[in-house]
Amino acid sequence: MVCKVCGSEVRETARFCGKCGAPIVRGDAPEQRAANAPADAAPAENKPDPDNPDALPKEDLVPLTTPQCVWMLLAMLIPVLNVILMLKWAYSERGNESRRSFARAGLILLGIVLAVLIVVLACVLAGLQMGWLTVPHLM
């Protein structure tokens, strides 16, 4: 059996390609699905189906390399650019699946950090207002 993404030879029992990591699809091939589809079915738009690995371009299924991951981490250190990049990577219709998942996880983490900071700030402000916390005067 041959991997449809990278073309390398894989075992018959393999679920993923040993070289590129792409899932191995067996059974109902896309050609057979197209032949079994009703003739009056409307053609699908040019949007890839994220649930069907055969419909995604092969560059979207290849795992990220180490330099790509390092570049993404460095890009996420830039304050405003990180949110823009994470939103673009997380919600674009096309793009690498690994990058999309990484960006979604980063957005979740960013939301948690912001929520914790807001709660801490609210507690500090409430403590100052109630007199539980005081600010020392240096002069």
- The yes-or-no verdict on residue 135 having pLDDT over 80 is yes
Nearest of 27, 30, 32, 3 to residue 16 by alpha carbon: 3
Please write the tens of the pLDDT for every residue from 29-56. 555 445 444 544 445 455 555 556 566 6
- Rounded Cα gap, residues 69 and 65, in angstroms: 6
Contact in structure between 98 and 65 (CB atoms under 8 Å): no
pLDDT score, position 77 = 87
Q: What is the average pLDDT value for the chain, to the nearest integer?
A: 79
61: which DSSP letter?
H
- Residue with the bigger pLDDT between 115 and 100: it is 115
Q: What is the mean pLDDT of residues 122-126?
A: 95
- Rounded Cα gap, residues 24 and 21, in angstroms: 9
pLDDT score, position 48 = 53
Given the structure tokens 């067996």, which residue do they identify? 26
CA distances from 5 to 10, 45, 62, 90 (A): 11, 22, 8, 23
- Rounded Cα gap, residues 109 and 121, in angstroms: 18
pLDDT score, position 41 = 47
- The yes-or-no verdict on residue 81 having pLDDT over 70 is yes
pLDDT score, position 1 = 76
- Evaluate if pTM is beyond 0.85: no
